[in-house]
Structure 1
Amino acid sequence: MQTEKQAGTEHNLVLGTVCGIGAGALWGLVFLAPELVRAFTPLQLAVGRYLAYGALSAALIAPRWQRLLFTVKRQDWAALFWLSLFGNTLYYILLSMAVQAGGIALTSLVLGFLPVTVTLIGSRDKGAAPLGVLLPSLLCCAAGAVCIGWQAIATPGASNNAVTGLIYALAALISWTAYAVGNSRCLMRLPTVSIHDWNLLVGLVTGAQAVLLLPVVLLSGHLQYSTLQWGQFGAVSLAVAVIASLVGNALWNRMSRLVPLTMTGQMILFETLFALIYGFLWEERWPRPLEIAAFGLLVLSVLTCVSGHQKQATKRQKALSALPENGV
């Protein structure tokens, strides 16, 4: 029975990768939001997005609220608070600050290191693929990120705020690494809570955090915008809440239950790739040679990671199937 379960899990690697690609494509859109409504502050962007996300989550989860109250324990609510903070509220504020200071390319570069940080942490988990197997993937990832970073910083006319944007992006990297690791482990620990409900619970808690931050936004000033600007802000906030927070998070959570933690980190590369593509379209230019090289290296990183996990899965399956023959 155990062998069948493990085999079934391995067969979901392809589906997990597809879900990871979908989440990356939708999440990459959040890098455009700070540019689309650049007049607004990062805190305003985060509060607007997560007020919408929280309201939608509350409406969708209402029919199952009573049942979930008996399923979700106190420690789970504590986990939801920290996951919402590091994966949504704090992360998006830092990401918006990084994009507005250093640009989309630089921010994407730094967050492209997420696979490295998550994989290094996940490599300590039981049954994880050893670092030796993951090394080619990690090297490709690092090389691709360096290419993007060199291009973003060395390009003539680069933003004078590149260093400030780099600092904000590094802080966002730390924040999202904590979320990716914690969220994956929570999903593994709570098989009775559906992926959809977990996503809505995160949205509910994130919405509550946005409500708490609303007085800060109102007291901080910077609210003199035109009707058109407020309309654009509302549309962007709602669109990001639905596309990225609801649908994107649902795909990511689905993927988190289909692949091991070390592979979860590699999937975030698709967010980096799509964010860069959207950035090129926004800037109305073709990617430069170093950026094209980075694309290839980042994709190769994911492919080598998937290949490494499949080889490890085959070895474990062969080892388990050989046990009865040895009379153990």
Structure 2
Amino acid sequence: MGVACGVGAGAMWGMVFLAPKATPDASPALMAAGRYIAYGLIAAMLVAPRWRRLTALLTGEAWRALVLLSVLGNLLYYALLVVAVHWAGVSASALIVGMVPVVVALWGLREPGAAPLKRIAPALVLAVIAVVLIGHEASQGEAGGEGARPLWTSLMGLGCAVAALVSWSAYAVFNSRWLDRLPDVSAHDWSLLTGVVTGGLSLGLAVLVLFDPPQWAIGDWGLFVGVSAAVAFGASIVGNAFWNRASRLLPMTLMGQMIVFETLFALAYGFLLARRGPSLLEGLAVVLMVASVLLSVRAHGPELEAER
């Protein structure tokens, strides 16, 4: 069930990469504001019937944790990723941020239920090779498409990519710990509370965007609102609920591998949109990603319990 929820989260999160294609004229800041404000509004409506009961279970420390998780997993991560893509390029950014499964797995080695490094090492190695192959393929597509960047710009972009990697990895670890600390709050309700806080924080971003709003027709604004609502509900509401449920069912060393499914579904959706199949390297990367997950699941199987 935990792995199935991880797959569900990846399927929902992979759709995020389609949103810019649907609204290509929207700036990254506007896309983020639209998605997260919609996330907050939908979450507030869904959690309203249980608001008093849930808030009675939360301490001041829990509210501060929700603010931190909203920043780490949503606002800060997205901002760093956008800057990294602009300053260092898509391939370099994807290569670094694609290491999230490895970092989360290594970070969780001391968590309860974790498999020892020697058991998960083969899965991590396959995941790294898969990400390198995807990065190489992306770099071939980028070659010649972008002008040379100044060295300091590239270095700043790479630094932002590394910071995005740390930000989301920290979110995954801290979110899992807080779910363990609050057993009376369901995984879905924790996702909704995170959405309410994220939506509130996003209002500041919306104010900045409104200083220079796009000159769109009513139909363009309608499309933008529809896409924002769809991404907010699918990726943030449903996807995060799946992820939180998986976080309660799986050890952190296995949760790291679940992030691979976001990449797999993003690739699949991209192929469908482009009406093409994967290249040889892309196909090999997909096979290696699936193999890394299977090896990681096996590393946490009955043999591990026997060793204990």
Q: In the alignment, is the contact (CA less than 8 A) between 2:112 and 2:251 conserved in 1?
A: no
Q: In the alignment, is the contact (CA less than 8 A) between 2:10 and 2:239 conserved in 1?
A: yes
Separation (CA, whole Å) in 2 of partners of 1:123 and 1:162: 40
Listed as ranges, the matches of 1:262-273 within 5 Å are 262-273=253-264
- Kindly tell me: are residues 96 and 227 of structure 1, through their superposed partners in 2, closer, same or farther at Cα, counting changes over 3 Å? farther
Aligned to 1:145: 131
Aligned to 1:17: 3
- Kindly tell me: are residues 42 and 168 of structure 1, through their superposed partners in 2, closer, same or farther at Cα, counting changes over 3 Å? farther
Q: In the alignment, is the contact (CA less than 8 A) between 1:128 and 1:260 conserved in 2?
A: yes
- Kindly tell me: are residues 111 and 156 of structure 1, through their superposed partners in 2, closer, same or farther at Cα, counting changes over 3 Å? closer
Aligned to 1:55: 41
Separation (CA, whole Å) in 2 of partners of 1:315 and 1:147: 36
Separation (CA, whole Å) in 1 of partners of 2:207 and 2:213: 13
* Aligned with 1:183 (options 170, 175, 180): 175
Residue 174, structure 1, aligned to residue 160, structure 2: no
- Using structure 1 for the length normalisation, give the TM-score: 0.85
Aligned to 1:286: 277
Q: In the alignment, is the contact (CA less than 8 A) between 1:144 and 1:297 conserved in 2?
A: yes
Aligned residue type for 1:34: P
Residue 216, structure 1, aligned to residue 208, structure 2: yes
Aligned to 1:89: 75
Residue 249, structure 1, aligned to residue 235, structure 2: no
Instruction: Flag the structure with larger Rg.
Output: 1
Q: In the alignment, is the contact (CA less than 8 A) between 1:19 and 1:251 conserved in 2?
A: yes
- Kindly tell me: are residues 160 and 153 of structure 1, through their superposed partners in 2, closer, same or farther at Cα, counting changes over 3 Å? same
* Aligned with 1:226 (options 204, 214, 217): 217
Listed as ranges, the matches of 1:234-245 within 5 Å are 234-245=225-236
Q: Which runs of 5+ in 1 are unaligned?
A: 1-14, 320-328
Aligned to 2:50: 64
> What per-residue deviation string (whole Å, max 9, x for no partner) do you get for residues 83-119 of structure 1?
011111222334455667845x765544331110101
2:126 partner SS:
helix
> What per-residue deviation string (whole Å, max 9, x for no partner) do you get for residues 200-226 of structure 1?
10000001011122211112x142223
- Kindly tell me: are residues 171 and 33 of structure 1, through their superposed partners in 2, closer, same or farther at Cα, counting changes over 3 Å? farther
- Kindly tell me: are residues 57 and 176 of structure 1, through their superposed partners in 2, closer, same or farther at Cα, counting changes over 3 Å? same
Residue 261, structure 1, aligned to residue 252, structure 2: yes
1:234 partner SS:
helix
Give the superposition deviation at 1:178. 1.3
- Kindly tell me: are residues 272 and 168 of structure 1, through their superposed partners in 2, closer, same or farther at Cα, counting changes over 3 Å? farther
Separation (CA, whole Å) in 1 of partners of 2:92 and 2:225: 27
Aligned residue type for 1:177: S
Q: In the alignment, is the contact (CA less than 8 A) between 2:111 and 2:251 conserved in 1?
A: no
The sequence identity of aligned pairs, in percent, is 49
Separation (CA, whole Å) in 1 of partners of 2:265 and 2:111: 29
Q: Which runs of 5+ in 2 are unaligned?
A: none
* Aligned with 1:306 (options 291, 297, 300): 297
Give the superposition deviation at 1:158. 5.8
Aligned residue type for 1:262: T
Aligned residue type for 2:208: V
- Kindly tell me: are residues 137 and 265 of structure 1, through their superposed partners in 2, closer, same or farther at Cα, counting changes over 3 Å? same
Give the superposition deviation at 1:174. 2.2
1:123 partner SS:
helix
Question: What count of residue pairs does the alignment treat as equivalent?
Answer: 301
Deviates more, 1:232-241 or 1:164-173: 164-173
Separation (CA, whole Å) in 1 of partners of 2:2 and 2:31: 30
Q: In the alignment, is the contact (CA less than 8 A) between 2:96 and 2:165 conserved in 1?
A: yes
* Aligned with 1:195 (options 187, 192, 212): 187
Residue 160, structure 1, aligned to residue 132, structure 2: no
Separation (CA, whole Å) in 2 of partners of 1:69 and 1:22: 28
- Kindly tell me: are residues 127 and 260 of structure 1, through their superposed partners in 2, closer, same or farther at Cα, counting changes over 3 Å? closer
Aligned residue type for 2:176: S
- Using structure 2 for the length normalisation, give the TM-score: 0.90
Aligned residue type for 1:62: A
- Kindly tell me: are residues 237 and 98 of structure 1, through their superposed partners in 2, closer, same or farther at Cα, counting changes over 3 Å? farther
- Kindly tell me: are residues 106 and 31 of structure 1, through their superposed partners in 2, closer, same or farther at Cα, counting changes over 3 Å? farther
Q: In the alignment, is the contact (CA less than 8 A) between 1:111 and 1:272 conserved in 2?
A: no
1:191 partner SS:
coil
Separation (CA, whole Å) in 1 of partners of 2:223 and 2:86: 17
